[in-house]
Structure 1
Amino acid sequence: MTAQLPALQVVIPLLCAPLCVLLRSRTVAWLLFLTASAASLACASVMAWHVAGGTVFRYAMGGWEPPAGIAYVIDKANVPVLLLVSAIGLAVAVYGRRSIPAEIEASRVPLFYSCLCLNLTGLLGIAATGDAFNAFVFLEITSLSSYALVAMGRRKRALLAAFQYLIVGTIGATFLLIGIGLAYAVTGTLNMADLAQRLPDIYGNRALAAAVVFVFVGLAIKMALFPLHAWLPDAYAHAPSAVAAFLSATGTKVSIYLLLRFAFGVFGAALVFDRMPITEIGLVLACAAMLVASAVACFQSDLKYLLAWSSIAQVGYIAAGLSLGTAGGVTAAYLHVINHALIKAALFAAAGIIVLRLGSARLAAMAGLGRTMPWTFAALVVAGLGLIGVPPTAGFVSKWVLAEALIEDGRWAVLAVLLVSSLLSVVYVWRIIEAGWFRRSAEPEPVKAAATPVPMAAATWALVALSLVFGLAPEWPMSLAEGAAGVLVGGGE
């Protein structure tokens, strides 16, 4: 049974997707998504335990051995992603029990959960597959379901946000497909391991250099790297709260993983970082993301837009780490992928509770709300401290590791940008605190807040608590990040 886990990881949520629509029951659809997320987390946990002991799972789909067939490969490089996506999916399933019926029309709820199952399938498939074209297929499954999920937002602007997301996402997918096609044209294979063996012999090939550029641009769009981030603010701000929490924690993070897998596991560091100016370009874009996005976040009047722009800045931190092309840089990138996913999911989950209470995410409407919703605003503050990088939060740990990698590589200018961006994050986090506790409510008398739904509060605080645990005891996520970096940069297993 253990040998079948790589396939079950993807097949279970894939089978749950059509069942959500066919059975047409809101409760059954929720139970199916909950089951899919829990089963995926169980599969990922068992595989993580075996991988930690030195096992590498290789599963040939349909019995067709690679490179002719599609292989799933589970190693230390993708185990952290599988665990992260599954855990966030489970938290969103609990959160969505009360959030989704409040934001989605009753007739659309089964379809909504079907799209969530498809999204989970695509994200897990991207992480598990060892085939380049299969990764593209799963990326499109994820993207198409994401467009539908964003479009189900309560406001009409959600449709415009979804359409913009579709246009930009399609451009990114096209770039990625062209890059994979060029790699196939010069090697005759799509299997990632086989590509990695054949490509060093043709490093001087111009078509291969073009393939690297197309793949990197396509995935840079998917991960919302500045200035290719145009789709993200509106998509996160107008999506249903559960969707914003899920996508902000998983969508861009899995695209970052795929970029790392292509950079180190397919094209090779010798081509990407030694023969091409990826390091310099990546660091420039990362610095621009950290500064510009953090500055724009400071001027947002809507909490969801503020958090969305913050996500773009945080992608800049991750991009700075992976652009170094060193073991330390990749470790920092992986660690911040994990920590930022938990922090940002908690922030969007807390924002969803506020939207449910007020019907608005505008900061002006939150005046004095910290006194009537103290636990929700406490979650916002604790998670916000993680964005800043204040000890003992998880955000501090990953920023510290990134700073060490930058110092080791002599990137003092990038380190200065990181510090300035962190100071800017103090400004926009303070704006949330000021709105909640230091502004007087426009209402003559404080209105007693309606009771926060227990599932939403439980999921939010579980994410906040986990981010604090990873800050106080970072050994486990650090070991996951170091193991992933060892496989990609060091070529180990």
Structure 2
Amino acid sequence: MTDQLPALQVAVPLLCAPLCVLLRSRTVAWLLFLTAALSSLACAAWLTERVDEAGTLRYAMGDWQAPYGIEFVVNGFNTPVLLLVSLSAAVVAVYGRRSVADELDARRGTLLYACLCLCLAGLLGLAITGDAFNAFVFLEISSLSTYTMIAMGRRRQALLAAFRYLVIGTIGATFLLLGIGLAYAVTGTLNMADLAGRVSGQHDNRALQAAVVFVFVGLAVKMAVFPLHAWLPAAYGEAPSVVSTFVAATSTKVAIYVFCRFAFTVFGASLVFGTMPVGRIGLLLAALGILVGSAAACFQNDLRYVLAWSSVAQIGYIVAGISLATTAGLSAAYLHLIMHAVTKGALFAIAGLLMLRLGSVRLSELAGIGRRMPWTFAAFVLAALGLVGVPPTAGFTGKWALVTALVDDGQWPVLAAVLSGSLLALVYVGRVVEVAWFREPPERTEPPRPPASMVTAVWTLVLLSLYLGIDPSLPAHLADTAAEALLGDGGG
């Protein structure tokens, strides 16, 4: 049975999705999503342990061996992503039952859980597949389910946000598919390992260089890299709370992993960062994304939009580490990816809790909330300090690793952008603190007590972010292993 775990990692949530719809019970649908999340987490933990002991695991679907059949690959570069996505889904499942019941009716609630199962299956499939075309298929499974979930937001703007994401995401997917098609035309294979062997020595091939451009532009859209980020703020700001919490913690992070997978294990670092100027372009866009995202967050009047624009900036930090194309840079990018996922998941979960209690998360509605809801506000402050990079939060650990990598590589302009982004983060976090603590609260009835399940999920993420800041040994080990697996012993 354990030999089938790579397939079960994806198959269980994929099978739970239609059951959510067929059984037509919101409680049963929630239980199915919880089961899918917990089973995926158990599989991810077991696979991580096996990879540490035995190295790369390969699973051939239907016993059709690669490169002719579809292959799942579990290695040090994707076990952190499997753990991150599965853990996020498990926490969101606990958090989401009351949130979904409050924001959606019973019929749409079952559809939401079905879409969450599909999104989970798509993200896990993206992380584990060893086939380029199936990476596109799993990306579309996760994206289509996400479009649907965003459209279920309580405000009419959610439909516009979903449509904008649909249009921009479809353009990105088209670019990705064109790039994969060109790579297939050059090499005659879609298996990633086989493709990597055939592209070596063809760095001057114009069709192959075009494939690199198409693939990376398509993935940059999914990653929300500046200036291809236009879909992200409204998507995060208008989606149901459980969706924004899950998507903010996982979606762009998995797209970043796929970018790394194509750059380092398929096309190769010598082509992508040597022959082609992807590294220099990435550093420029990362610096601009950090500054623009952080500055835009300072002017938002809705807490979820503040957090969404902050995500644009945080993605810039991760892209900067990847663009260095060194072991230290890649390790820092992976480490910050993990730390930011936990921190941002906690912050969006807190925003959903405030939405449930107050009916709005506009900053004007949060006046005085720090005195009326001290524990909820304390959770927000502890998590938000991670965006600034204050020790001993998880955000500090990731940023410190990135700063070290930038100094070692002599990237002083990007380092200046990173430090400026941290100062701007202090401004937008301080703005929320000022409103919530120092302004007089409006006249309103006392908000109801928050549900225990949502509070438990919020504090689990907040305390996890603090623990990872105090003792980052596990994520640091996972990040180092991922960087070495992507670059190899001589990667820098």
- TM-score using structure 1 length: 0.98
Distance 1:318 1:192, change over 3 A: same
Letter in 2 for 1:335: L
Instruction: State how 1:40-119 maps to structure 2 within 5 Å.
Output: 40-119=40-119
Residue 240 of structure 1: aligned partner: 240
Q: Per-residue deviation at 1:358? A: 1.4
CA distance change for structure 1 residues 474 and 36 in 2, over 3 Å: closer, same or farther?
same
Q: 1:486 is matched with which residue: 475, 484, 487?
A: 484
Number of corresponding residues: 491
Letter in 1 for 2:70: I
Q: Structure 2 vs 1, CA of residues 367 and 309 (structure 1 numbering), >3 Å: closer, same or farther?
A: same
CA distance in structure 2 between the aligned counterparts of 1:253 and 1:482, rounded to whole angstroms: 17
Deviation, structure 1 residue 442? 2.3
- The residue aligned with 2:467 is 469
> Secondary structure of 1:59's match?
strand
The question of whether the paired residues in 1 share the 8 Å contact of 2:13 and 2:121 is answered with yes
Supply the distance in 1 between the matched residues of 2:489 and 2:77 (Cα, whole angstroms).
Answer: 10
Aligned to 2:386: 386
Distance change in 2, residues 1:376/1:421 (3 Å): same
Distance in 1 (CA, whole Å) between partners of 2:303 and 2:129 is: 36
Question: 1:228 matched to which residue of 2?
Answer: 228
Quick check: 124-133 or 99-108, which moved more? 99-108
How far apart, in 2, do the equivalents of 1:54 and 1:334 lie? 22
Per mean C-alpha deviation after superposition, the further-off stretch among 28-37 and 1-10 is 1-10
What secondary structure sits across from 1:168 in the alignment? helix
Q: What is residue 125 of structure 2 aligned with on the other side?
A: 125
Q: In structure 2, what residue type is equivalent to 1:468?
A: L
In structure 2, what is the equivalent of residue 451 of structure 1?
Answer: 449
- Amino acid corresponding to residue 152 of structure 1 in structure 2: M
Tell me, in whole angstroms, the C-alpha distance in 1 between the residues paired with 2:479 and 2:306: 28
CA distance in 2, matches of 1:198, 1:480: 29
Matches within 5 A, 1:140-179: 140-179=140-179
For residues 55 and 35 of structure 1, the distance between their equivalents in structure 2, rounded to whole angstroms, comes to 28
Whether the 8 Å contact between 2:358 and 2:447 is mirrored in structure 1 is: no
TM-score (norm 2): 0.99
Shift of residue 416, structure 1, vs aligned partner: 1.0
Q: Tell me the CA shift for residue 449 of structure 1.
A: 2.7
Shift of 1:317: 0.2
1:133-180 deviation line (CA, Å, top 9, x unaligned) = 000000000000000000000111101100000000000000000000
Question: Which letter does structure 2 place at the counterpart of 1:464?
Answer: V
Deviations, residues 11-33 of structure 1 (Å, cap 9, x unaligned): 00000000000000111000000
- Aligned partners of 1:3 and 1:57 also within 8 Å: no
Residue 229 of structure 1: SS of its match in structure 2?
A: coil
Whole-angstrom distance in 2 between the partners of 1:492 and 1:243: 40
Cα shift readout 1:46-104 (whole Å, capped 9, x = no counterpart): 01111111332100011111101110000100000000000000000000010001011
- Which residue number in structure 1 is paired with residue 283 of structure 2? 283
The Cα of 1:448 is off from its aligned counterpart by 2.8
Q: Deviations over 1:451-481 (max 9, x none)?
A: 0111111101101111111100001100000
Aligned-partner Cα distance in 2 for 1:169–1:352 = 25
Distance 2:438 2:135 in 1: 48
Q: How many angstroms apart in 2 are the aligned matches of 1:473 and 1:28? A: 38
Give the superposed CA RMSD: 1.1
Gap runs ≥5 in structure 2: none
Contact 2:306–2:428 at 8 Å: present in 1 too?
Answer: yes
Unpaired runs of 5+ residues, structure 1, are none
Give a deviation string over 1:162-212, Cα, whole Å, max 9, x none.
Answer: 000000000000000000000000000000000111101211100000000
Deviation, 1:372, is: 1.3
Looking at structure 2, the residues matched to 423 and 110 of structure 1 have their Cα atoms a distance apart, in angstroms, of 43
Q: Secondary structure at the match of 2:488?
A: coil
Query: 1:371 maps to which residue?
Result: 371
Pairs within 5 Å for 1:376-455: 376-443=376-443, 447-455=445-453
In 2: Cα distance, 1:64 partner to 1:361 partner: 52
Q: Which residue in 1 is equivalent to 2:262?
A: 262
The answer to whether the Cα contact below 8 Å between 1:372 and 1:447 also exists between their aligned partners in 2 is: no
Aligned pairs for 1:322-361 within 5 A:
322-361=322-361
- Give, in whole Å, the separation in 2 of the partners of 1:71 and 1:327: 27
Residues 36, 117 of structure 2: 8 Å contact kept:
yes
Per-residue deviation at 1:338?
0.4
* 1:258-308 per-position Cα deviation (integer Å, ceiling 9, x unaligned): 000000010000100111111110000000000011001001010010000
SS at match of 2:200: helix
Measured in 2, the distance between the counterparts of 1:454 and 1:373 equals 15
1:25: which partner in 2? Answer: 25
Instruction: Check conservation: 1:357, 1:450, Cα contact below 8 A.
Output: yes
